[in-house]
Amino acid sequence: MYTLLVHGGAGKIQENAFDEHAKGAKEAVNAGVEILKSGGSAMDAVEAAVKVMEDNPIFNAGTGAVLTFEGEVEMDAAIAYGPNLDFGAVAGVKNIRHPISLARLVMEKTDHVLLAGKGANDFAKLMGFEFHDPVTEQRRAQWEKYRKDFINGNYRDWPKLRELFKEHPEFLHGTVGAVAIDSHGETAAATSTGGVFLKLLGRVGDTPIPGAGTYATPYGAASSTGLGEGMMRILLTKTALDFIRDGLDAQHAAEAAINCLDNIIGTDAGIIVVDRNGNVGIYHNTPNMTWAYIKDGMDEIESGNT
Ligand code: ASP
């Protein structure tokens, strides 16, 4: 038995881009499922799936990540191993191709859980990661436009930024994530992001925080997307996995977790969840979220943007 489910971010996706997003998500599932089919681990599968999406410039992770207010790219990524709650993450890392692989090395090669900023980049160099410029022309053009709009709106502090994200949910979509359970019953989750457009330098979102944007336990695995400032406060992925521990299946747990967020904080979010029975859960309160999955026994990958 195995299941692999990925997301390509919650927000607003233009209808004419639906196919391209779904195709990108399916390519990621294809990369990961080969590993699961041959008896490989959920950890290897979620890392492989996320790497494919980090290389796809339509997603806000790795190449194509969004720019900070200052015009730089600072990326967050995390990987979680369910059986013993192991976790590795990087925050604010620059100029590498696969932040998700660096996050995994933090877990496997250090005694830490999260490396940030210069320390994360120094560790990347030590691990042999080469310089890679993740800025695409399209992202820079979007940044120029959004920054102008932003400045004309008399930006002063974060409440304004949150209002802006509410009016323009397209600012958010694009983060990527994957959750899986393998034939040994082990769960894993991985998430990678450029964060949110026009974030301040040094801003860290939910993605690398255990239980916020990424989490895996013996009961399941979850990866979320949306405005990190809300998801960090409610620990969205941990909330979903606690619901599974208490008896809900993956879909009901995903819905219950987003409902908790809606009731208390009310920010934009989406989540993917797999439970230990291999069920999938997909839920979001945004207009769109790209997703794709395959379970043992299915002939074809299912995918969608709603
Ligand atoms: N959750 C990410 C963050 O706040 C953004 C996203 O999912 O698009 O950093």
Over its length of 306 residues, how does the chain's per-residue pLDDT go in tens digits?
A: 999 999 999 988 888 889 999 999 999 999 999 999 999 999 999 999 999 999 999 999 999 999 988 889 999 999 999 999 999 999 999 999 999 999 999 999 999 999 999 999 999 999 999 999 999 999 999 888 888 877 776 555 566 666 777 777 666 667 999 999 999 999 999 999 999 888 888 999 999 999 999 999 999 999 999 999 999 999 999 999 999 999 999 999 999 999 999 999 988 999 999 999 999 999 999 999 999 999 999 999 999 998
| C-alpha–C-alpha distance, residues 128 and 230, integer Å | 35
Q: How far is the CA of 208 from the centre of ligand 1 (A)?
A: 10
Q: How far is the CA of 202 from the centre of ligand 1 (A)?
A: 14
Q: Give the number of the atom of ligand 1 that is nearest the alpha carbon of residue 225.
A: 7
Q: Which of 31, 24, 26 has the alpha carbon at shortest distance from 46? A: 31
Pairing relation of β-strands 86-93 and 114-116? parallel
Q: Which of 161, 97, 162 has the alpha carbon at shortest distance from 134? A: 97
Active site residues: 175
**Exposure string (b/e) for 272-300, b if CB count within 10 Å is 16 or more?**
bbbbbebbbbbbbbbebbbbbbbbeeeee
Q: Give the number of the atom of ligand 1 that is nearest the alpha carbon of residue 226.
A: 7
How is residue 130 annotated by DSSP? P
Q: Name 151's bridge partners.
A: none
User: Which residues, judged by CB distance below 6 Å to any ligand atom, belong to the binding site of ligand 1?
Assistant: 9, 60, 172, 174-175, 193, 195-196, 205-207, 213, 225-228
Q: Give the number of the atom of ligand 1 that is nearest the alpha carbon of residue 228.
A: 4
Burial of 24: CB neighbours in 10 Å, binned 0-12, 13-18, 19+: buried
Residue 114's pLDDT is: 98
Q: How far is the CA of 197 from the centre of ligand 1 (A)?
A: 9
Q: Which of 284, 286, 11 has the alpha carbon at shortest distance from 170? A: 11
Q: Which of 280, 298, 277 has the alpha carbon at shortest distance from 223? A: 280
| C-alpha–C-alpha distance, residues 114 and 253, integer Å | 27
Q: State the CB neighbour count (10 A cutoff) for residue 172.
A: 28
Question: How is residue 296 written in tokens?
Answer: 């043992």
Question: How is residue 198 written in tokens?
Answer: 């026009």
Look at the block and give the residue holding tokens 């399941």. Answer: 220
Q: How far is the CA of 165 from the centre of ligand 1 (A)?
A: 11
Probe ligand 1: pick from 6, 227, 267, 290, max atoms within 8 Å of CB? 227
Q: State the CB neighbour count (10 A cutoff) for residue 159.
A: 8
| C-alpha–C-alpha distance, residues 137 and 106, integer Å | 31
The continuous run of DSSP H or E covering 121 comes out as: helix 117-126
Domains, in order of start, for the chain? 3-304 (3.60.20.30)
| C-alpha–C-alpha distance, residues 59 and 191, integer Å | 12
Q: Name 215's bridge partners.
A: 222
Residue 156's pLDDT is: 52
